């Protein structure tokens, strides 16, 4: 940890004011150095809504709410603990190898990082496994040392990923804004510190490049491009050159966008004291073209951007949707949102893949698990795209496409309004209703009637009529005749009909032991909210602003639902990944003026997943006054056993 952060920790850990002289003595530096460092720290504390207070004759202290000071202290302590973590050392080794001009002796690495050669050898094995995902390997030459080997495009992709090595962050979290102030994540600060660069200079250059092209890019795309520029400059300065496919190079050389950025590239060369080889100029343009544009630019550039190309790509995507829908059995080719979303995603993705570049999907395993059937269908149907563009879609890309279809299918999901008819409307028809409700959860039995009363329901929004006797089909209402005892053939036929109109969402793994915390010791409601936030932030599920949202929700209205249970949540815009966090307290705490709480459900939900969570909480409503149910949950201390019970009771019905 740098000296300035050590100064902050001393101030925070001091119960009263502490003088600059006392700090200087503890850190073995001069009082003047302390004062100089304090000037720089005054810009750091506001990130946590805190302020350094100086009082003549008394010394220094930190002003802020208890929660904000705790956040600041947690951040600093985490950094102090992190310094000696293996992944921090491994990232430094990665930075060294990915930018080195030549092989580096293992002895030199061990000396510079103050660890044994055995430790470095172990680190190199771990790093080599990680690099293999990008088709890059570590090679060893006797008396020379170690170096990385692979195609230059692959090494650069690995380099960009190394910035977020073993961290639950990405380019989406790299830059935050506090008014006009720009705040960089620790990953970017570490990059700046190691290579002695100013990342904001690269951000500015990307803005100049996109203005020259007339592009509108998302903030995440701008950060990704800035990272690409950093890696390019470092690699080129050390003598490395990229090699692109001849046809792609010729395509880019003749396009208008290349001529638009050439003058800007010359400015970049002068600013960075570097000369870009011709192929690297094309490489940069490919990344600019591959940047994800805002919606109004969704139908612009692909492979030169001609109208003919755009029309052809649109046709292929329409065909792709039709092939997927034929296997899924749900009409999707009229869903313009799905079509537009696929256009926005596929155009830049094709540019990347044509250039031999890949985009890692961090949710690949979760998507394959949660949407397994859809993933297989999309993977099979993707041959339409592969044959047209003469490329193989990787699993990461299939998973991205799967999500688009999963969201579209969820939009189509609905409850089917069913009318059951028999000769009299009583008796055996009630047994039929019971069986239907047991087999199909997303149906609504509107009524059980006699066939003579059917006309009364023509304008009641009935979508399916199930009858135990042979009757003529009513106009506008699908009719199916079944045996009163429901044979296997009847069940199969009904399943196919219902599945054409809806999709039953699999929620059987919504509750997971990793997000359940039992025997938690806290003293009050505020500590509960802080604990809930800290666990989620550590897991990478939420941004820092989620913490404020939890408190804001408590001010808006009550979250106590009875039986010593509270259901809390922050804002969906601050959620990176959805989950249901469960906190079971060792001792109940006062939640409002009169009610105590010892069981908390934290709804951590993105907008995309809100439909799924709504279904679960409809079921939860059945247990609001069921004290036996909640007491049963409290008795379970094993998080994974508790997850199984919750999935069975609240999620598995769907």
Q: Report whether pLDDT(127) > 80.
A: yes
378 CB contacts (<8 Å, ≥6 apart)? 324, 398, 401, 402, 405
Higher pLDDT, 601 or 114: 601
Distance from C-alpha of 350 to C-alpha of 389, rounded to nearest angstrom: 8
- Alpha-helical runs (H) found in 273-382: 278-290, 307-328, 336-354, 364-370, 372-381
Tokens standing for 69? 């000071």
Average pLDDT value over all residues in the chain: 80
pLDDT digits (tens, 9 = 90+) for 320-338: 999 998 777 677 888 888 8
Distance from C-alpha of 7 to C-alpha of 24, rounded to nearest angstrom: 9
Across the range 286-293, mean pLDDT stands at 64
Q: Report whether pLDDT(289) > 90.
A: no
Distance from C-alpha of 378 to C-alpha of 536, rounded to nearest angstrom: 32
Across the range 454-458, mean pLDDT stands at 78
Distance from C-alpha of 225 to C-alpha of 231, rounded to nearest angstrom: 10
Q: Report whether pLDDT(62) > 70.
A: yes
| Residue entry with tokens 């490489």 | 283
State which of 248-252, 281-285, 492-496 shows the largest mean pLDDT: 281-285
What does the pLDDT read at residue 501?
Answer: 54
- Name the 3-class secondary structure at 339: helix
Instruction: Answer whether 357's CB lies under 8 Å from 319's CB.
Output: no
Q: How confident is the model at residue 58 (pLDDT cuts 50, 70, 90)?
A: confident
What does the pLDDT read at residue 608?
Answer: 59
Q: Report whether pLDDT(550) > 50.
A: yes
State which of 166-180, 376-390, 494-508 shows the largest mean pLDDT: 376-390
Tokens standing for 328? 């899924």
| Cα angle 481-486-487, degrees, rounded to a multiple of 5 | 100
What does the pLDDT read at residue 425?
Answer: 46
Instruction: Answer whether 650's CB lies under 8 Å from 619's CB.
Output: yes
How much of the chain exceeds pLDDT 90, in percent? Answer: 18
204 CB contacts (<8 Å, ≥6 apart)? none
Higher pLDDT, 476 or 563: 563
Q: How confident is the model at residue 227 (pLDDT cuts 50, 70, 90)?
A: very high
Tokens standing for 559? 């979250």
pLDDT digits (tens, 9 = 90+) for 68-80: 887 777 776 665 5
What does the pLDDT read at residue 653?
Answer: 41
Across the range 199-225, mean pLDDT stands at 85
Higher pLDDT, 157 or 509: 157
Q: How confident is the model at residue 431 (pLDDT cuts 50, 70, 90)?
A: confident
What does the pLDDT read at residue 100?
Answer: 92
Query: How many CB atoms neighbour CB 65 within 10 A?
Result: 12
What does the pLDDT read at residue 611?
Answer: 54
CA distance readout (Å), 643 to 521, 567, 647:
20, 17, 6
Instruction: Answer whether 606's CB lies under 8 Å from 573's CB.
Output: no
What does the pLDDT read at residue 163?
Answer: 93
**Cα 131 versus chain centre, distance:** 22
405 CB contacts (<8 Å, ≥6 apart)? 324, 328, 332, 338, 374, 378
Q: How confident is the model at residue 364 (pLDDT cuts 50, 70, 90)?
A: confident
pLDDT digits (tens, 9 = 90+) for 12-29: 888 789 998 898 888 888
User: Would you give the end-to-end CA distance of the chain in angstroms?
Assistant: 50
Taking 3-state DSSP, the helix, strand and coil percentages for the chain, each rounded to the nearest 5, stand at 55, 15, 30
Task: Report the range of poorest mean pLDDT among 268-272, 351-355, 528-532, 596-600.
Answer: 351-355
What does the pLDDT read at residue 441?
Answer: 64
What does the pLDDT read at residue 149?
Answer: 93
* Burial class for 114, CB neighbours closer than 10 Å (0-12, 13-18, 19+): exposed
Task: Report the range of poorest mean pLDDT among 135-139, 351-355, 587-591.
Answer: 351-355
What does the pLDDT read at residue 457?
Answer: 80
What does the pLDDT read at residue 304?
Answer: 38
Instruction: Answer whether 601's CB lies under 8 Å from 632's CB.
Output: no
Dihedrals φ, ψ of 601, to 5°? -110, 120
Instruction: Answer whether 605's CB lies under 8 Å from 569's CB.
Output: yes
267 CB contacts (<8 Å, ≥6 apart)? 208
Q: Report whether pLDDT(3) > 80.
A: no
pLDDT digits (tens, 9 = 90+) for 294-323: 333 333 333 334 444 566 778 889 999 999
Across the range 570-585, mean pLDDT stands at 86
Tokens standing for 104? 């580096």
Across the range 553-557, mean pLDDT stands at 77
Q: Report whether pLDDT(450) > 50.
A: yes
| Residue entry with tokens 């003598």 | 239
* DSSP secondary structure code for residue 472 in this structure: P
Q: Which of 171, 179, 294 lies closest to 229, judged by CA?
A: 171
Q: Which H or E run contains 530?
A: helix 525-539
Across the range 430-448, mean pLDDT stands at 78
Across the range 492-506, mean pLDDT stands at 62
Instruction: Answer whether 170's CB lies under 8 Å from 164's CB.
Output: yes
- Name the 3-class secondary structure at 165: coil
pLDDT digits (tens, 9 = 90+) for 477-487: 778 888 877 88
pTM score, whole prediction: 0.42
Instruction: Answer whether 421's CB lies under 8 Å from 450's CB.
Output: yes
Go through the domains of the chain in sequence order and give each one's CATH number.
3-81 (1.10.10.10), 86-162 (1.10.10.10), 171-297 (1.10.1790), 307-412 (1.10.1790.10), 416-501 (3.40.50.2300), 513-651 (3.40.930.10)
Q: How confident is the model at residue 11 (pLDDT cuts 50, 70, 90)?
A: confident
What does the pLDDT read at residue 415?
Answer: 67
Q: Which of 391, 317, 385 lies closest to 354, judged by CA?
A: 391
State which of 242-251, 338-347, 620-629 shows the largest mean pLDDT: 338-347
Distance from C-alpha of 226 to C-alpha of 187, rounded to nearest angstrom: 14
Q: Report whether pLDDT(352) > 90.
A: no
């Amino acid at each position: 940890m740098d000296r300035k952060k050590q100064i902050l920790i001393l101030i925070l850990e001091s119960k009263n004011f502490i003088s600059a002289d006392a700090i200087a003595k503890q850190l073995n530096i001069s009082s003047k150095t302390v004062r100089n460092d304090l000037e720089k720290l005054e810009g750091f504390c506001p990130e946590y809504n805190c302020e350094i207070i100086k009082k003549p004759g008394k010394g220094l202290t930190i002003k802020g709410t208890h929660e904000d000071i705790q956040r600041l202290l947690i951040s600093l302590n985490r950094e102090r603990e992190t310094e000696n973590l293996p992944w921090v050392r491994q990232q430094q080794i990665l930075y060294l190898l990915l930018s080195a001009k030549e092989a580096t002796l293992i002895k030199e690495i061990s000396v510079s990082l103050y660890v044994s050669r055995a430790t470095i050898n172990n680190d190199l094995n771990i790093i080599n496994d990680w690099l293999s995902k990008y088709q890059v390997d570590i090679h060893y030459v006797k008396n020379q040392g170690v170096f990385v080997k692979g195609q230059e495009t692959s090494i650069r992709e690995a380099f960009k990923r190394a910035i977020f090595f073993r961290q639950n962050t990405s380019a989406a979290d790299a830059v935050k804004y506090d008014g006009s102030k720009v705040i960089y994540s620790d990953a970017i600060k570490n990059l700046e510190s190691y290579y002695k660069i100013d990342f904001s200079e690269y951000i500015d250059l990307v803005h100049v490049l996109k203005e020259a092209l007339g592009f509108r890019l998302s903030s995440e795309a701008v950060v990704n491009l800035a990272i690409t520029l950093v890696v390019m400059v470092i690699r080129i300065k050390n003598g490395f050159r990229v090699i692109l496919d001849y046809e792609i190079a010729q395509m880019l050389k003749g396009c208008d966008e290349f001529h638009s950025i050439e003058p800007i590239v010359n400015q970049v060369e002068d600013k960075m004291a570097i000369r870009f080889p011709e192929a690297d100029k094309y490489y940069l343009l490919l990344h600019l073209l591959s940047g994800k544009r805002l919606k109004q630019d969704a139908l612009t550039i692909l492979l030169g951007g001609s109208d003919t190309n755009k029309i052809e790509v649109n046709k292929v995507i329409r065909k792709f949707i039709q092939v997927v829908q034929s296997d899924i059995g749900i009409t999707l080719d009229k869903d313009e949102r799905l079509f537009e979303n696929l256009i926005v995603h596929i155009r830049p993705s094709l540019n990347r893949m044509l250039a031999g570049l890949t985009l890692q999907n961090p949710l690949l395993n979760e998507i394959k698990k949660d949407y397994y059937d859809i993933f297989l269908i999309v993977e099979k149907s993707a041959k339409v795209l592969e044959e047209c563009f003469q490329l193989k879609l990787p699993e990461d890309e299939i998973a991205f496409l799967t999500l688009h279809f999963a969201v579209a299918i969820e939009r189509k999901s609905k409850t089917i309004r069913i009318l059951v008819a028999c000769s009299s409307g009583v008796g055996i028809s009630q047994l039929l209703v019971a069986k239907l409700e047991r087999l199909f959860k997303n149906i609504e039995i509107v009524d059980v009637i006699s066939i003579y009363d059917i006309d009364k329901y023509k304008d009641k929004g009935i979508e399916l009529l199930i009858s135990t006797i042979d009757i003529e089909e009513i106009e506008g209402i699908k009719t199916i005749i079944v045996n009163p005892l429901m044979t296997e053939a009847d069940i199969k036929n009904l399943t196919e009909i219902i599945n054409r109109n809806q999709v039953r969402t699999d929620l059987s793994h919504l509750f997971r032991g990793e997000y359940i915390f039992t025997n938690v010791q806290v003293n009050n409601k505020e500590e509960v909210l802080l604990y809930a936030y800290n666990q989620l932030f550590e897991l990478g599920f939420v941004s820092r602003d989620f913490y404020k949202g939890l408190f804001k929700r408590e001010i808006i209205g009550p979250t106590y639902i009875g039986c010593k249970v509270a259901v809390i949540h922050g804002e969906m815009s601050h959620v990176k990944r959805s989950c249901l966090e469960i906190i079971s307290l060792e001792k109940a705490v006062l939640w409002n003026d009169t009610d105590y709480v010892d069981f908390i459900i934290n709804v951590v939900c993105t907008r995309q997943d809100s439909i799924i969570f709504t279904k679960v909480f409809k079921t939860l409503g059945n247990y609001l006054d069921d004290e036996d149910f909640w007491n049963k949950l409290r008795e379970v201390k094993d998080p994974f056993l508790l997850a199984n019970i919750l999935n069975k009771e609240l999620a598995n019905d769907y």
